Amino acid sequence: MKLIYFAWVRERIGLAEEEVELPAGIETVSDLLHWLRGRGENYESALQAQDMIRVALDKEHSDHSDAVAGAKEIALFPPMTGG
Amino acid sequence: MSVGAEPLVRVQAGPIDLAAEIAALESGGAAGALVTFTGTCRDEGGRLEALELEHYPGMAESEIARFAAEAARRWDLLAVAAVHRYGRVAPGETIVFVACASVHRGAAFEAAHFLMDYMKTRAPFWKREHLKDGTVGGWVESKDTDDHAVDRWRHVL
């Protein structure tokens, strides 16, 4: 699946997007964030305020308790500041 | 829902032509009210050179379209439009434009306010500051007051 990052999440991770294979046991958005934080200091620094991170599954806002199964593109980003 | 035309939604890099946007909302005389909102880039006391707006292509359009359709579902509108810029925006330039037309003013005022509140907190855009001294400032932080503004609409209608 494709992970895509925006704003300071993108900057702290150091990537705009990447393809990943999720290990078994990653069922929810929350599981995904936990797993990513263990992948390196850059991920930990980007995602440590985990509750604040917003996640979109295939371009739709989701909750951290939502299942990630079936999503092709998962986007992680800070709270939005448009308008 | 009584929208005479499909919601007009656009995300663009270039300047927003306000006169052209308003002219495009002509409803042939049925509308008694047209409410427009323009959000403008501030100079922050002369400190700011420009704002840079990052967005999520595809989702930005689809989220704005979703709120515009929701506004049209909740209020009797003859026309609804929402345009948001991305990229670099200079002080004084328009960042966002929202317009709603209706037979009487109440619906247009409320729908425009609703649409703007949702765009602030749910449309995937992020602002960062470029300062006059040549440095890149921080990412603009979201405000609790914007979230509270959205909460208010949960209890309307």
The answer to whether B16 touches B86, Cβ cutoff 8 Å, is: no
Gap between the Cα atoms of B121 and A49, Å rounded: 18
Is the per-residue pLDDT at B41 higher than 60? yes
Lowest mean pLDDT among A28-32, B5-9, B101-105: B5-9
Q: Of all residues in chain B, what percent carry a pLDDT higher than 90?
A: 77
Give the closest-approach CA distance of A82 to chain B in angstroms: 5
Q: What are phi and psi of A7, to 5 degrees?
A: 55, -135
Name every chain A residue with its beta carbon within 8 A of the beta carbon of B63.
Answer: 61
Identify the structural domains of chain A with CATH numbers, from first to last. 2-77 (3.10.20.30)
Which residues 6+ apart lie within 8 Å of B10 measured at CB? Answer: B61, B82, B83, B84
The pTM (predicted TM-score) of the whole model is 0.93
Gap between the Cα atoms of B73 and B115, Å rounded: 12
Is the per-residue pLDDT at B24 higher than 80? yes
Does residue A70 or residue B142 have the better pLDDT?
A70
Considering only CB atoms, A78 lies closest to which of B63, B122, B126, namely B126
Residue pLDDT, tens place only, B57-112: 999 999 999 999 999 999 999 999 999 999 999 999 999 999 999 999 999 999 99
Which residues 6+ apart lie within 8 Å of B120 measured at CB? Answer: A80, A81, A82, A83, B146, B149, B150
pLDDT category at B146 given cuts 50, 70, 90 is confident
Is the per-residue pLDDT at B1 higher than 50? no
**Mean pLDDT, chain B, integer:** 91
Report CA-CA distances (Å) from B64 to B45, B46, B96.
Answer: 30, 31, 11
Q: What CATH number does the domain containing B70 carry?
A: 3.90.1170.40
Q: Of all residues in chain A, what percent carry a pLDDT higher than 70?
A: 100
Q: What are phi and psi of A10, to 5 degrees?
A: -60, -45
Gap between the Cα atoms of A44 and B65, Å rounded: 34
Name every chain B residue with its beta carbon within 8 A of the beta carbon of A7.
Answer: 54, 126, 128, 139
When divided into structural domains, chain B yields a total of 1
The CA radius of gyration of chain A, in Å to the nearest whole number, is 12
Does residue A83 or residue B15 have the better pLDDT?
B15
pLDDT for A12: 97
Considering only CB atoms, A80 lies closest to which of B95, B96, B123, namely B123
pLDDT for B26: 82
pLDDT for B5: 58
The answer to whether the CB atoms of B125 and A8 lie below 8 A apart is: no
**Mean pLDDT, chain A, integer:** 96
Name every chain A residue with its beta carbon within 8 A of the beta carbon of B62.
Answer: 59-60
CB-neighbour burial class of residue B18 (10 A; exposed 0-12, middle 13-18, buried 19+):
middle
Residue B142 lies in a domain: no
pLDDT for B156: 63
Q: What is the ipTM of this complex?
A: 0.95
Residue numbers of the domain that contains B129: 8-133
